Amino acid sequence: MPSYYLNRTPQPNGAYEVHALGCPRLPLYRVHLGEFAQARDALHLAQRHYAPAQVCARCAAEPARR
């Protein structure tokens, strides 16, 4: 299962982005969320701790890497 990370810096809209390992937009300052089968599972965890959160558009469009 792919690892997911949360950007520690919010986007201009105030949301924190969830990224899969290997995303070219993966930030240097990040929080490891864990390994999940789907990005939406990582997003649910992120929203519990860092609301509001959203999945990176690029990570949401690509199939999960293994």
Angstrom distance (rounded) from CA 42 to CA 3: 9
Residue 64: what pLDDT? 52
Say whether pLDDT at 65 is over 90: no
Residue 50: what pLDDT? 83
pLDDT tens per residue, range 47-60? 998 889 999 999 88
* Domain spans of the chain, in order of start: 3-61
Residue 62: what pLDDT? 66
Angstrom distance (rounded) from CA 43 to CA 54: 7
pLDDT tens per residue, range 4-56? 999 999 999 999 999 999 999 999 999 999 999 999 999 999 999 888 999 99
